[in-house]
Amino acid sequence: QQVSDFRSKLIASGAFANVTVEEQTPAPFGQQVNVRMTAQWKPGAQWPSVAQNPTADETGKNGNSAKNLPAGKESN
């Protein structure tokens, strides 16, 4: 479900022409999944305008973005 939600968010961002989930395989440890996705950028002129003062949810700084990342990884 999270992979599908993430793909939908990438599409909704308006920055990508195509977003494809190519592979989903369970990781050998725990409840994790390895995912391979490909995406094609839209030309910059076709991107939606960006808010001058984005909310915490829009920037991903709502405290939930790095919750499920392995140690040493950052969420951008």
Q: What is the DSSP string of 39-67?
A: EEEPPGGGSPP--SS--HHHHT-SS-TTT
Q: What is the pLDDT of residues 27-37, one digit of tens each?
A: 888 888 899 99
Conformation bin of residue 63: beta by default, left when phi > 0, alpha when psi is -120 to 50: left
Give the pLDDT confidence score for residue 17 in this predicted structure: 87
AA letter at 8: S
Tokens at residue 17, please? 């022409």
39 C-beta neighbours (distance < 10 Å), count: 14
pLDDT digits (tens, 9 = 90+) for 2-23: 899 999 999 988 888 899 999 9
